[in-house]
């Protein structure tokens, strides 16, 4: 069963911004999934449509077995959402925010308090339960949003940039918490612009750019791709027709240029030694970046 099915989703805002341009995506139940993309890519728009906070222009969204257009409240009951923006009253107490949320779902007070205690303790907020939410630090506010999102025991937890503004130490704690609840069977989808976050947590990822999915793969395969870099080398003299460099993946592109794939831990001087032995003199070397790597450089340096 898919936790989320999206087909041909479009969103054009009133100001004529085309935020989503035909998104199709399926996410398996039990998955830990990252939606990666630069600022303005459309991540929040997508998440907010799934949670019915934003109205789509066209397309289909199904949560487990329920189309949001057919039974909006049933679809919504499956989801816990942690938005990018803090959206609770800063004047209310932590525990009251959680109790009020549980009230929307008609959960009994006793059950609410049991669950609240469990999650507040797990997220190190228990001693803040009677504090006014506005006085919490950014990281605490984010964790309060997580407790609130989990109070009705959703099968799918969606977090929009959960660790933005959370310091490294706390981030690791939060990651462990998310791993634990995923282990317990909750499907987790998060958006992030930190590759490291996706790398640490997620089994599958999609990269979104300008409202389109440009890559949808397993984290493992993505890392394999990132581990490899291709260089273009120019030779001063004509390259031999049957060029080979031991175990290195080398391709003769024309009489004077070759491409070689190197892994992160390869010694590049070994390559030059082998070339020298064949009397090949290299005058230029450059990195052949592919779109994906460029995007990642962009993603990881921008923030």
Report, in Å, the least distance between residue 191 CB and ligand ADP: 7
Strand, helix or coil for residue 154: coil
Interface characters, 82-101, with Mg ion (x: CB under 5 A): --x-----------------
CB 116 within 8 A of CB 99: yes
Interface characters, 195-224, with Mg ion (x: CB under 5 A): ------------------------------
Binding partner of residue 277 among Mg ion, ligand ADP, none, CB cut-off 5 to 8 Å per kind:
none
What is the length of the chain? 303
CB 122 within 8 A of CB 143: no
Report, in Å, the least distance between residue 136 CB and Mg ion: 21
Q: For residues 37 and 162, which CB has a smaller minimum distance to ligand ADP in the complex?
A: 37
DSSP H helical ranges for the chain: 43-50, 72-77, 94-104, 109-122, 138-150, 168-183, 195-201, 219-227, 268-277, 291-302
| Number of amino acids touching Mg ion (CB under 5 A) | 3
CB 258 within 8 A of CB 239: yes
Q: For residues 44 and 112, which CB has a smaller minimum distance to ligand ADP in the complex?
A: 44
Q: 120 is written with which tokens?
A: 């507040």
Binding partner of residue 39 among Mg ion, ligand ADP, none, CB cut-off 5 to 8 Å per kind:
ligand ADP
CB 2 within 8 A of CB 189: no
Which segments of 227-268 are extended strands (E)? 228-235, 249-252, 257-263
Q: For residues 215 and 234, which CB has a smaller minimum distance to ligand ADP in the complex?
A: 215
Report, in Å, the least distance between residue 124 CB and Mg ion: 26
Residue nearest to Mg ion (CB): 44
Dist. CA 22–CA 15, nearest whole Å? 18
Report, in Å, the least distance between residue 48 CB and ligand ADP: 7
Q: 74 is written with which tokens?
A: 């049933």
Q: For residues 37 and 233, which CB has a smaller minimum distance to ligand ADP in the complex?
A: 37
Strand, helix or coil for residue 92: coil
Binding partner of residue 230 among Mg ion, ligand ADP, none, CB cut-off 5 to 8 Å per kind:
none
Report, in Å, the least distance between residue 161 CB and Mg ion: 6
Q: For residues 44 and 204, which CB has a smaller minimum distance to ligand ADP in the complex?
A: 44
CA dihedral sign, ordered 66, 67, 70, 74: positive
Q: Does the footprint of Mg ion cover residue 187 (CB under 5 A)?
A: no
Report, in Å, the least distance between residue 301 CB and ligand ADP: 16
Q: For residues 12 and 217, which CB has a smaller minimum distance to ligand ADP in the complex?
A: 12
Dist. CA 114–CA 95, nearest whole Å? 12
Report, in Å, the least distance between residue 125 CB and Mg ion: 24
Q: Does the footprint of Mg ion cover residue 44 (CB under 5 A)?
A: yes
Report, in Å, the least distance between residue 259 CB and ligand ADP: 34
CA dihedral sign, ordered 66, 68, 69, 70: positive
Q: For residues 41 and 158, which CB has a smaller minimum distance to ligand ADP in the complex?
A: 41
Which residue carries 């805002």 as its tokens? 13
Q: Which residues bind ligand ADP (CB under 6 A)?
A: 13, 15, 17, 19, 37, 39-45
Dist. CA 183–CA 237, nearest whole Å? 58
Interacting residues with Mg ion (CB under 5 A): 43-44, 84
């Amino acid at each position: 069963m898919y936790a989320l099915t999206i087909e041909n989703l479009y969103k054009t805002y009133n100001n004529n911004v085309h935020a989503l341009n035909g998104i199709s995506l399926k996410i398996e139940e039990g998955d830990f999934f990252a939606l990666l993309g630069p600022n303005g890519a459309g991540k929040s728009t997508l998440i907010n449509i799934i949670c019915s906070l934003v109205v789509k222009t066209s397309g289909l969204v199904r949560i487990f077995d329920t189309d949001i257009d057919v039974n909006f409240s049933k679809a919504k009951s499956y989801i816990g959402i942690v938005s990018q923006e803090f959206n609770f009253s800063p004047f209310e107490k932590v525990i009251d925010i959680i109790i009020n949320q549980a009230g929307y779902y008609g959960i009994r007070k006793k059950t609410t308090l049991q669950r609240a205690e469990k999650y507040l303790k797990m997220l190190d907020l228990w001693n803040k339960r009677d504090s006014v939410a506005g006085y919490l630090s950014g990281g605490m506010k984010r964790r309060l949003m997580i407790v609130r999102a989990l109070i009705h025991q959703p099968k799918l937890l969606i977090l929009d940039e959960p660790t933005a503004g959370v310091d490294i130490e706390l981030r690791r704690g939060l990651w462990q918490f998310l791993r634990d609840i995923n282990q317990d069977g909750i499907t987790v989808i998060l958006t992030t612009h930190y590759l490291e976050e996706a790398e640490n947590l997620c089994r599958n990822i999609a990269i979104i750019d300008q409202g389109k999915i440009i890559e949808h793969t397993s984290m493992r395969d993505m890392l394999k791709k990132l581990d490899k870099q291709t260089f273009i080398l120019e030779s001063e003299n004509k390259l031999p027709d049957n060029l080979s460099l031991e175990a290195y993946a080398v391709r003769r592109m024309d009489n004077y240029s070759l491409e070689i794939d190197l892994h992160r831990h390869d010694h590049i001087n070994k390559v030059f030694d082998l070339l020298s032995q064949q009397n090949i003199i290299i005058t230029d070397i450059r990195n052949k970046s592919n779109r994906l790597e460029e995007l990642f450089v962009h993603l990881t340096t921008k923030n």
